[in-house]
Structure 1
Amino acid sequence: MTRHRRSRKAAKEQLVEAEAWDEGVDEPQEAPADEPDETGWQTSTAQMASLSRLVRAGVWALVVSGPLLGTLAFLTSSAPAQGVSKPAAAATTASSVGPAGFAELFVSAYLQAGQGTERDLAPYYSGSVALAVKPGTRTATQSTVIASREVQPDYWSVTVAADVTAHDDKGKSTRLGVQYFRVGIQATDPAGASGTEQGAIAAYAATSLPAQVAAPAALKPGGLAYETDRGSSSADPSVETASGFLAAYLTGTTELDRYTSPGTRLQPISPTPYAEAKVTGVQDDSTSASQQKVPADRTVLHQLVQVDATDLGGSTVSLSYALTLKSRAGRWEVASVDDAPALRVSGTPSAAPHTTPAPDAAEATPSPSAS
């Protein structure tokens, strides 16, 4: 815009000079019109007047076209430079959520299906199916995906864990325990090769019936960092703090602020699930089990607390909480409820033999048709 003002001002100044020059030229001269000057050129008053009008018209044209030329220059400078490529769309990463969910539904339908109901598997598997088992002989009371791996682009191997229950002809049910099924799931991109269509849902298909596989190897957890046993005595200041805090946290009978460090923001469980909470054991990472006095301010203590909580119906359940305590002004305060119990620095898991839980003794033995 400053450029526009300067060009218009210069044009106006030229117009004023031209008009002044024109006024001086319009005055008649005493000399004869046809008398030549010293250079040999002949001039007349009419010629000078015509030249003045021509100059004045050019200046006015410049004044009028100034804003238009300035706007054109501004738009030209604002246009994107030629040859600058647009930023490429971010590449999308294949997600295992869809194939995993599809596989879980397929395994549940497979366990429920039987001879005469093979069509129930058509939404998942389009191959030829002939089942010999009686429909409803097995059901999955619970199922979840425990492993998912893309073996090829848009082709997934999914392992589903299902808690299977068998049903015999007399209506008796027997829990068979957790069983594992692996299935191949092929996915198709609904938006074609680009994969950028918003709101589109991919299509999935199983490439075969599920294959029952062995359970994954069980692990024995690594050593925990809590090597000092404090018991459950309320005479220990750290145990007393943990007990009071968890009672308030689980039952909502008192405020948490009286047990927490300044700035710690914790909320009790709501709605209140338990009527009573009793600490049955405390382990921590201190060096001495006999230490009863609270150490210097800002000392940190990690606890693993065992709790028996009684719900509103009178049933007692056992819970474990990992807490971090800090000392301040001669007392312990809860600084956080930890996400998981702390491990020793060298605490790595080790392989342990897998054991399948036996069916409950109270349950009936499955009949041959249900096995």
Structure 2
Amino acid sequence: MSPTVSLRRRAGVEEQNTNEDLREELPPIADGAHQTTSALAAKAATVGLMACLVLGPVGAVAGGLALAQSARPAPVQAATVTDRSNDQAVAGEFAQRVVLTWLTTTQDQPAPVLALVKDAQISAMSQQAFTTADPTVARIVQTDGTWSVTVAVTVTDARNQTARRFFQLPVQLTNGSVTALTLPTPVSPPTVVQGSTPTYCTQIGTSSPVGQTVAQFLTAYIAGSGDVSRYLTPGVALAALTPAPYMSVRLDDLRSTGDVDPAAAPEDDQRMRVLAVATASVTDKQSSSVAYALTLTARAGRWEITAIDPTPAVAAKTPPDPSTWDTTRTPTGSSAITPTPAGASSPAATTQ
């Protein structure tokens, strides 16, 4: 064999070995399936990364809200309001029955009272019954589960003296049963203080345009003379009393609160409150003095009736100056300080 051929063979073998080594070092070439799988994996990774970026703040907010909810105190349950109106009605009716029975029962027939009050003494019962009329519940309060009912009754005694009298009765309701704990107790009526209406301080002439409007309205409203709607503000509905209780009305006094000058020409939508006192007559010998608190509204240069006020105008009460309160004394059993005007005696301490 010639040297030249030998060299060519050796070079071919070395080249073949070199190509095999290169094939071992290079990564395998991916086919179509491998390329598709790789692309999907890359997209999935991208979507997952974007989801993490988006949900990261949401998770932080949700975590913060959860922490705030856990730190927030539990809501206070609203107190349940128990309807006592039925018990109150039962106690009031029973108290009236006991008081009337007690006033009209005599010694010779004590059974009605004994059926209502267990400890009633027959020997203390009257020998002559009282005459009663117009019973009504004047006051009812609940104390420690017991209803304290005050009943007002018009009573005529053996001297033919008639008076409105008041009786207090403790009534207890248990499982649908009602019990009078004692006999009725005569008590004093509520204190009556004479009232006045100083808020109506401006005198208005009864023959003035305002006075004529009010007089004509009252005549139509309670005496049935004329059309009430002529004197009303548009949109206001007031029906005349039917049948009319009076034959005629005379306006005696008219005053306003002073907010508006009744002598000046009114501007549209101005309002004025007045108190009208009138004599309403049935016949020449029978009449009633009536009072009407009215609200008037101006329209087209004249006053019209807007409302019959449910209550007259009353000046607002000025609250007492706290600096004049005496806070040095506190009733026994109470931790609160009761304001007492200086110079006045504090309420006496009471012991339970």
TM-score, normalised to structure 1, is 0.59
Partner of 2:161: 174
Give, in whole Å, the separation in 1 of the partners of 2:284 and 2:135.
29
Which of 238, 257, 266 is residue 238 of structure 2 equivalent to? 266
**Which structure is larger by alpha-carbon Rg, 1 or 2?**
2
Which of 282, 285, 293 is residue 322 of structure 1 equivalent to? 293
CA deviations on 1:326-359 (whole Å, 9 max, x unpaired) are 11101010000111111011289xxxxxxxxxxx
Q: Report if aligned partners of 1:294, 1:332 keep a CA contact under 8 Å in 2.
A: no
Partner of 1:161: 152
Q: Secondary structure at the match of 2:247?
A: strand
Task: Measure how far apart 1:123 and its partner are.
Answer: 4.2
Which of 230, 242, 267 is residue 296 of structure 1 equivalent to? 267
Q: Report if aligned partners of 2:260, 2:271 keep a CA contact under 8 Å in 1.
A: no
Q: Report if aligned partners of 1:158, 1:182 keep a CA contact under 8 Å in 2.
A: yes
2:211 maps to amino acid? V
Give, in whole Å, the separation in 2 of the partners of 1:264 and 1:253.
19
CA deviations on 1:117-173 (whole Å, 9 max, x unpaired) are 22122443233431342232x2222222221111123x20111122221135xxxx2
Q: Report if aligned partners of 2:248, 2:282 keep a CA contact under 8 Å in 1.
A: yes
Identify if the C-alpha distance between structure 1 residues 284 and 216 changes in structure 2 by more than 3 Å, giving closer, same or farther. Answer: same
1:326 maps to amino acid? T
Identify if the C-alpha distance between structure 1 residues 277 and 263 changes in structure 2 by more than 3 Å, giving closer, same or farther. Answer: same
Greater share of helix = 2
Task: Measure how far apart 1:313 and its partner are.
Answer: 8.7
Q: Which runs of 5+ in 1 are unaligned?
A: 1-89, 191-202, 349-371
Identify if the C-alpha distance between structure 1 residues 214 and 278 changes in structure 2 by more than 3 Å, giving closer, same or farther. Answer: same
Q: Secondary structure at the match of 2:84?
A: coil
Partner of 1:140: 132
1:273 maps to amino acid? P
Which of 80, 93, 97 is residue 83 of structure 2 equivalent to? 93
Q: Which runs of 5+ in 2 are unaligned?
A: 1-79, 320-352
Partner of 2:184: 210
1:277 maps to amino acid? V
Q: Secondary structure at the match of 1:111?
A: helix
Over aligned residues, Cα RMSD in angstroms?
Answer: 2.4
Task: Measure how far apart 1:312 and its partner are.
Answer: 6.1
Give, in whole Å, the separation in 2 of the partners of 1:127 and 1:264.
59
Task: Measure how far apart 1:285 and its partner are.
Answer: 0.9
Q: Secondary structure at the match of 1:126?
A: coil
What is the correspondence of 1:186-265 to structure 2 with a 5 Å cutoff? 186-190=172-176, 203-221=177-195, 223-231=197-205, 233-234=206-207, 236-265=208-237
User: Number of paired residues?
Assistant: 237
Q: Which has the higher contact order (CA 8 A, sep 6+)?
A: 1
Identify if the C-alpha distance between structure 1 residues 347 and 252 changes in structure 2 by more than 3 Å, giving closer, same or farther. Answer: farther
Identify if the C-alpha distance between structure 1 residues 91 and 300 changes in structure 2 by more than 3 Å, giving closer, same or farther. Answer: closer
Q: Secondary structure at the match of 2:215?
A: helix
